[in-house]
A and B are shown apart, each in its own frame.
Chain A
Amino acid sequence: MADSHEHLLRELAPQVLGAVVRRYGDFSAAEDAVQEALLTASTDWPKDGVPDHPRGWLIQVAARRLTDEVRANIARRRRETELVAEAPLDEQIAPAPDSEHEPEKEDTLLLLFMCCHPALTRTSAIALTLRAVAGLTTAEIARAFLVPEATMGQRISRAKQLIKKSEVGFVMPSENERDERLEAVLHVLYLIFNEGYAASGGDSLQRVDLSTEAIRLSRDVQRLLPDNGEVAGLLALMLLTDARRHARTGPSGELIPLDEQDRSLWDRHAIDEGVAMVSRALSQGAVGAYQLQAAIAACHDEAERVEDTDWPQILALYGLLKRTSDNPMLTLNQAVAVAMVHGPQAGLQLLETLDADPRVAAHHRLAAVRGHLYEKAGDPAAAIESYQTAAALTSSVPERDYLLLKAARLRELAH
């Protein structure tokens, strides 16, 4: 019961906030008022039952809070300055939302555009999106990022100040701005997903699962923009990656690489949905980076055994993906595919091109992939050295342990 209330409140939160911001303009004040309205609902609804129009109820409660606030501020200012309020109350309150078609849809999208505005830093955008659009509490967000609640509270209020200062308006961006803004939104969602993915394991039971939140938000965006291929691509990528979550770590949190995972633990349902979604997106033209990454993930997920993996297809997809970006991490992954299709020496040769690239030359992933390819090439001494180099460069404990164990195993085999 309480769970279904919570679910409903979370779903309504961005719509309500969007409507209130639209009406009153002040994002920061609207956000506080909506939080209070949600709190009131979470105590009242279990007692009195859910109102007939929960969305309208919440907007009304939040609006009342906000007008009380505005009145109180005016009264205070009047007392302080002993002047008649310089602006009549009517002017402080923007006109009511026009009741055109599906305003709640547009409000959620506008809210996302506002929270993920390029003027904000990515960390601000992430915190604000989780709070305002995903409807998480500051405490939940803090726990998810393993930082103290006070720190996260401060980060969120700074983000709100930034919005105020940069005068990011609550208006739909123009047609040519649209793509850039949507790109920022998708990147923020992608980062939220990755954060959850990287942090999985540990005390996850007490934490909101960021990957699940990112998928939920991406589903919302996909519902709002069903014809956008990259939105579908991102959602598919998340589903296809998340489908492997139960197979990617062992009982004590140790990493299990793709080729050693128990594929019966993969979530078939998520894979089917992801594959269908990316196939549909790819067939609609205008292929983007998220769709290509999803297509690669699909190649892995569709292989019932590791030896069934369609590596030539994966290699071709990396070729296309490299045309969209010069990210050296792509070359790193491509080298693995090259090794699978043309042999480890060819992969190692491709890796050599990265040694002069300051963005990855000292990155642990370069040394780790090199170790993997040396191992495949039958050169355990070079592999051991690469794994140990990688272990000394990574800042992830499970990854460090995994790399050290790889090196130790090769040393033992050599004896």
Chain B
Amino acid sequence: MKFMLMMNAPRGDGDWGMKHLSMDELKAHIGFMKNFIGELKSEGVLVGAEGLAPPGAARIVRASKQDHSPEVTDGPFAEAKEFLAGYWIVHVETAAQAYAIAARASVAPGRGGKPMYIAIEVREVMSAPPVEP
């Protein structure tokens, strides 16, 4: 089974929640995330992972009703309390294993090196039907 683990970051005051961390706190956070990816790789469960650029540059696109050309708007990001910061896709055998991985990501260090308890949304990735025995 594949699961997508989505990390929703709080918007904080302004565009970036990480901007109040000190040098050491930032280094610890960055190091943790790098290390985490390395662990998932060596455990053989990582399918893919991407970090998303901050939402300031995000746009909502809809086809115009006249000629289906792209209509681009800034979108309702200003009011959003959280935004998708990035995701991991893992290949595991049970949902419980995916939850365990999500919990490891959740305790990424923040202020004072303490766990941030980030909320991780876990969704199963749809796949082909199971093979008949």
Contact assessment for B19 and A412 in the assembled complex, using a CB-CB cutoff below 8 Å: no
Contact assessment for B22 and A408 in the assembled complex, using a CB-CB cutoff below 8 Å: yes
- The reply to whether the CB of A393 lies closer than 8 angstroms to some CB of chain B is yes
Q: Which residue of B lies closest to A398 (CB)?
A: B30
- The reply to whether the CB of B121 lies closer than 8 angstroms to some CB of chain A is no
Contact assessment for B53 and A408 in the assembled complex, using a CB-CB cutoff below 8 Å: no
Which B21-75 residues have C-beta < 8 A from chain A? 21-23, 25-27, 30-31, 34, 51, 53-54, 56-57
Contact assessment for A393 and B19 in the assembled complex, using a CB-CB cutoff below 8 Å: no
Which A217-258 residues have C-beta < 8 A from chain B? 252-253
- The reply to whether the CB of A395 lies closer than 8 angstroms to some CB of chain B is yes
Contact assessment for B22 and A411 in the assembled complex, using a CB-CB cutoff below 8 Å: yes
Listed residue (A362, A392, A411, A412) with the most chain B CB atoms within 10 angstroms of its CB: A392
CA distance A31 to B30 in the complex (A): 45
- The reply to whether the CB of A401 lies closer than 8 angstroms to some CB of chain B is yes
Q: Which residue of A lies closest to B27 (CB)?
A: A405
CA distance A388 to B14 in the complex (A): 10
Contact assessment for A252 and B34 in the assembled complex, using a CB-CB cutoff below 8 Å: yes
Contact assessment for A404 and B56 in the assembled complex, using a CB-CB cutoff below 8 Å: no
Contact assessment for A404 and B26 in the assembled complex, using a CB-CB cutoff below 8 Å: yes
Q: Which residues of A contact B18 (CB under 8 A)?
A: 404
Contact assessment for B26 and A401 in the assembled complex, using a CB-CB cutoff below 8 Å: yes
- The reply to whether the CB of A20 lies closer than 8 angstroms to some CB of chain B is no
- The reply to whether the CB of B124 lies closer than 8 angstroms to some CB of chain A is no
Given contacts A404-B26, A405-B27, A392 and B34 within 8 Å (CB-CB): no
Contact assessment for A412 and B30 in the assembled complex, using a CB-CB cutoff below 8 Å: no
Contact assessment for B53 and A394 in the assembled complex, using a CB-CB cutoff below 8 Å: yes
Q: Which residue of A lies closest to B19 (CB)?
A: A388
- The reply to whether the CB of A356 lies closer than 8 angstroms to some CB of chain B is no
- The reply to whether the CB of B16 lies closer than 8 angstroms to some CB of chain A is yes
Q: Which residues of A contact B30 (CB under 8 A)?
A: 401
- The reply to whether the CB of B15 lies closer than 8 angstroms to some CB of chain A is yes
Q: Which residues of A contact B16 (CB under 8 A)?
A: 388, 391-392, 404
Contact assessment for B26 and A408 in the assembled complex, using a CB-CB cutoff below 8 Å: yes
Contact assessment for A405 and B56 in the assembled complex, using a CB-CB cutoff below 8 Å: no
- The reply to whether the CB of A407 lies closer than 8 angstroms to some CB of chain B is yes
CA distance A392 to B22 in the complex (A): 17
- The reply to whether the CB of A397 lies closer than 8 angstroms to some CB of chain B is yes
Nearest-Cβ distance from residue A100 to partner chain B, whole angstroms: 52
- The reply to whether the CB of A409 lies closer than 8 angstroms to some CB of chain B is yes
Q: Which residues of A contact B19 (CB under 8 A)?
A: 388, 391, 404, 407
Contact assessment for B22 and A395 in the assembled complex, using a CB-CB cutoff below 8 Å: no
What per-residue 1/0 map shows which CB atoms of A372-415 lie under 8 Å from chain B?
Answer: 00000000000000001001111101000100110111011000
Contact assessment for B51 and A405 in the assembled complex, using a CB-CB cutoff below 8 Å: no
Listed residue (A388, A408, A411) with the most chain B CB atoms within 10 angstroms of its CB: A408
Contact assessment for B26 and A392 in the assembled complex, using a CB-CB cutoff below 8 Å: no
A residues near B, CB below 8 A?
252-253, 362, 388, 391-395, 397, 401, 404-405, 407-409, 411-412
23 interchain pairs, CB-CB under 8 A = A362-B57, A391-B19, A392-B15, A392-B16, A392-B54, A392-B56, A393-B54, A393-B56, A393-B57, A394-B53, A395-B57, A397-B51, A401-B26, A404-B16, A404-B18, A404-B26, A405-B27, A407-B19, A408-B26, A409-B23, A411-B22, A412-B22, A412-B23
> Assuming A401-B30, A408-B21, A408-B22, what are 5 further A-B pairs, CB within 8 angstroms?
A252-B31, A388-B16, A401-B26, A405-B26, A405-B27
Query: Which 6 residue pairs spanning A and B have beta carbons closest together?
Result: A395-B53, A392-B15, A408-B23, A392-B54, A388-B19, A401-B30
